[in-house]
Structure 1
């Protein structure tokens, strides 16, 4: 038993009706300059691959790297200050995290510019110092029953004086650790 193929219009909504007998047959589209995969006239452009990698981020942009490093420094200073204020201890790992995040962000965006590791280390020193001051303000605010914000903004001189009186070798070690982590983080992020 043999089956015949269904007419092109049955079962296929995209089938073209057969040409009338004796009518000229349309010419098959010709490939563009010998390329059978080239775009045919009137065809739709190919769609992008669904799993195409995202566009490459901006790299080797010194100005953008510096701006990102400053923003990350301010954000991590606040987080570090919150940790110091909540625990009432300076935590070395947090200082390493502050420095590394600043350096990593600067190196990832700014690229291999030799200025970035040095600036990242300086920003890390400032961020760890600022974080320690924020922590002192939080601790002092609890003891004095005032807001930490008002203590930080209205009595900043008292905070810096309190910091200098309580600063010991560990305080300066945390500053140095943060700066080293920022310097090395910027170097590592720039080459990856």
Structure 2
């Protein structure tokens, strides 16, 4: 007695059914069930010549421009003026020259110049020179604050109208520590510029 093989749909729930009446059934293209179907009717299919989608909103921002020597110099000058004022305020308030503050002045000037201006060899040298000027200016501001309190005149008046008296007072008060602080600030600016360029 022979038994005929059942048809694909008889008793097998997983057999591929004909697509008649089933909108989700995969239709083979020319007998190939893996052939890519046309995109007609599919709004999500990539159309030929379609533009790429815009970048994701959470993409990281572009890196800032580096190796801009002119901008690095401008940033160094601005940082030198700001830190000179802060250093002068510290000297005037404490009536002491603080070496760590001079190091901070120099490092900030150099680091800002290197971070913005890049690895140009001019920036560490200019940063060191600006640091010398900033520490010197800060010491003059401090002397003006101390002298102004002693004689009852504002520090601004001393600084603008009697600058020669301030520089003379600085020369008389300057000692080995004063020049050491100047040198330390310049070295910190030089090394800060090189470190800022590497980051």
State the TM bucket, normalised to the shorter chain.
0.7 to 0.9
Query: Is 1:116 aligned with 2:123?
Result: yes
170, 175, 178: which one aligns with 1:171: 178
Residues of 2 paired with 1:102 and 1:171: CA distance? 19
Other-structure match for 1:31: 46
Aligned twin of 1:73 = 80
**Displacement of 1:56 after TM fit?**
1.6
C-alpha displacement of 1:188 = 0.6
Q: Show the 5 A alignment for 1:175-186.
A: 175-186=182-193
Q: Normalized against structure 1, the TM-score is what?
A: 0.78
Of the candidates 64, 78, 88, which is equivalent to residue 95 of structure 2? 88
Q: Does 2:57 correspond to 1:49? A: yes
Displacement, 1:33?
Answer: 4.4
1:54 & 1:83 partners in 2: Cα distance?
38
For residue 28 of structure 1, report the CA deviation from its aligned partner. 2.0
Q: TM-score, normalization: structure 2? A: 0.76
5+ residue gaps in structure 2? 1-39
Would you say how many aligned residue pairs link Structure 1 and Structure 2?
Answer: 159
Q: Which runs of 5+ in 1 are unaligned?
A: 1-25
Mapping of 1:131-150 within 5 angstroms?
A: 131-150=138-157
Pick from 158, 169, 177: which aligns with 1:162? 169
Whole-Å separation in 1 of the counterparts to 2:54 and 2:69:
37
Larger Rg: 2
Aligned to 1:120, the other structure's residue is in SS state: helix
Whole-angstrom CA distance in 1 between matches of 2:182 and 2:196: 21
* Residue aligned with 2:96, SS: coil
Return the offset for 1:58: 2.3
Q: Tell me, in whole angstroms, the C-alpha distance in 2 between the residues paired with 1:114 and 1:191.
A: 13
Counting only pairs closer than 5 Å after superposition, residues 2-41 of structure 1 correspond to structure 2 as 27-29=41-43, 30-33=45-48
